[in-house]
Amino acid sequence: MSLTASDLQALLAAFDASAWDEMRLSLAGEQVQLSKTGRPPAGSEIAGAGGRSAAAEPGDLPAPPLAGVDAARLPPPVEEGAVGAPAEVASVAAVEAAERRSEALLENTTGTHRVTAPSVGLFWRAPDPSAPPFVEIGQRVEPDDPVCIVEVMKLFNHVQAGVTGTVRSVEIENGAMVEHGQALFVIEKEA
């Protein structure tokens, strides 16, 4: 297995979005070493040839410019908070928790429940093209009633209503691509 150009782009994007200063990856004899400090990662072969060694201790002097490495190609170090510094990114768990709190607040204030997509995929209102939709607008549903399917790579996730109530709207066209957390239906909850 070797790294493709898109693999490298994904690694660079993940590294840019992270709070890491350095990253080293070894895969099937290939190595990728990234640094935001302007120096090669500590312990790397390049650092060992004239830069900082793996045994470097905090407080050691920074590594001198590397012989044979085009220093102009390395980005300059960026201080935290400076323009161009990597931004702080909330964790996925924190974002999902905030979304759940927001959704609960919306449900409590409006008396409605939004059925959302459990994953990215194709939205199907019926179990097959010749079958009637699982639910129609105005239809009463129970929490365990299936309301649609979200298909991901031939895996069919049956999505349930989640509450007792009446379907008030269908938010997506049949066969459309949906994103994780995207509203599919609005159900007016019964008291």
pLDDT digits (tens, 9 = 90+) for 76-86: 666 766 776 66
Q: How many whole angstroms separate alpha carbon 67 and alpha carbon 135?
A: 69
Most confident of 33-37, 54-58, 80-84: 33-37
What Cα–Cα distance (Å) separates residue 126 from each residue in 23, 84, 91, 143, 151?
Answer: 47, 49, 35, 18, 12
Q: Are 163 and 180 in contact (CB under 8 A)?
A: no
What pLDDT score does 76 carry? 64
Percent of the chain with pLDDT over 70: 74
More confident residue, 106 or 133: 133
Q: Tell me the whole-structure pTM to 2 decimals.
A: 0.50
pLDDT at 57 over 50: no
Q: In this structure, what is the dihedral angle of CA atoms 46, 48, 52, 58, given to the nearest 10 degrees?
A: 130
59-98 confidence digits (pLDDT tens): 444 545 554 555 555 566 667 667 766 667 778 788 888 8
User: Which residues of 12-164 form beta strands (DSSP E)?
Assistant: 22-27, 30-35, 112-116, 121-124, 140-141, 146-152, 155-160
Average pLDDT, the chain: 79
41 by Cβ neighbours in 10 Å (0-12 / 13-18 / 19+) ranks as buried
What pLDDT shows up at residue 187?
95
Mean pLDDT (whole number) for 110-115 = 90
- What is the spatial distance between Cα 121 and Cα 118, in angstroms, rounded to a whole number? 9
Predicted confidence at residue 158, as pLDDT, reads 96
Q: What distance in Å separates the CA atoms of residue 161 and residue 143, rounded to the nearest whole number?
A: 5
Instruction: State yes or no: pLDDT of 178 exceeds 90.
Output: yes
Name the least confident of 81-85, 151-155, 180-184: 81-85
* Angle, CA of 177, 183 and 188, to the nearest 5°: 140
Give the pLDDT confidence score for residue 54 in this predicted structure: 42
Which two structure tokens, joined as six digits, stand for 158?
Answer: 């049956």
